[in-house]
Structure 1
Amino acid sequence: MEFRRRPAETTSLGTRAVVLDEEDRVLLCRCALPGEVVCVAPGGGVEEGESMHRR
């Protein structure tokens, strides 16, 4: 498995969660990106101008 780091100019604010079931299996989300498919932990990001606090 290859791990790649995003260039600094595309860094974003977000969070990920490690979700395990009773058998310690890890939940991953399959994401189709241009030219590749990757598996990532579930989570989300904060867009520019968006509040991190729930209203």
Structure 2
Amino acid sequence: MTFGRDDELPLPGDAEKKKREISPTRLAVWVIAGGFGVYLVLTGIIGMLEKAGQ
């Protein structure tokens, strides 16, 4: 596993640092999934309130 140029050896802790980085793709997936989850919760609450009001 290489991190950087081929003539550099990875230092201890480089793998841990790499794991902590958040890629833009991962962030986008979490934002989209979170937004969809919020949508489902809100529409469920609105549906329950409308049904209780009838």
- TM-score tier by shorter-chain length is under 0.3
Taking structure 2 as the reference length, the TM-score comes to: 0.24
**Larger relative strand fraction:** 1
Q: TM-score, normalised by structure 1?
A: 0.24
The structure showing larger relative contact order (alpha-carbon pairs under 8 Å, at least 6 residues apart) is: 1
Tell which structure's C-alpha radius of gyration is larger.
2
Greater percentage in helix: 2
